[in-house]
Amino acid sequence: MSNDAPLWAQAIALIITGGIVAWYTWETHKIRKDAAHQNELISKQVELMFQSLKFEVGREELASEPFFKWGSGGTNIQGKYCQFQNEGGAVTNLQVKTSSDLQASIRPEDHIGEGQAGGVHFRVVGKASVPDIQFEVHYTTRLNKRGKKSFILLSDQGLPKEEDSSGNSKT
């Protein structure tokens, strides 16, 4: 019977060790599940931050675009002219482009700030009357993005209308 005591002690030690290992396994499993849940939350947070940043960049790009509000215009001996006010973002490096039989200019051409006035002038080469004029104003935004806006100036109207990318007038 004296030999049975160490066996009981070993069995008890083995049971306690098994319990500790089972408890440790369970706690490790819970930690792994919590870590996976935290990774999922971090992933969602990063995605939300990315969407927010994308929205802010889009908003900033939109705010940096010019908005030409056309004012007075008319025809004189030199051709057609139209005045505008920039009600959008400040832009630089302005150019006006149109068909080859027209000479076009824009003022100012180096920089036009928010609320600043400017004008475009068209001179017809080799024609007595001024036809409908389709033209584009090219510019660089404060984000250093090159952009353009397309317009049409009908011969029977005094002010240009902006066109969308398919050539339809915007209202």
Averaged pLDDT, 26-48: 95
Query: Alpha-carbon distance 54 to 26, whole Å?
Result: 42
Higher pLDDT, 76 or 136: 136
The two beta strands, 91-98 and 133-141, are antiparallel
The pLDDT tens digits for 107-136 are 999 999 999 999 999 887 766 666 788 999
- The string of DSSP codes covering 11-54 is HHHHHHHHHHHHHHHHHHHHHHHHHHHHHHHHHHHHHHHHHHHH
pTM check: above 0.85: no
Averaged pLDDT, 49-54: 96
Q: How far is CA 161 from the centre of its chain?
A: 24
Structure token pair of residue 155: 């011969």
Contact assessment for residue 82 and residue 68, using Cβ atoms and an 8 Å cutoff: no
Report how far apart the first and last C-alpha atoms of the chain are (Å, whole number). Answer: 105
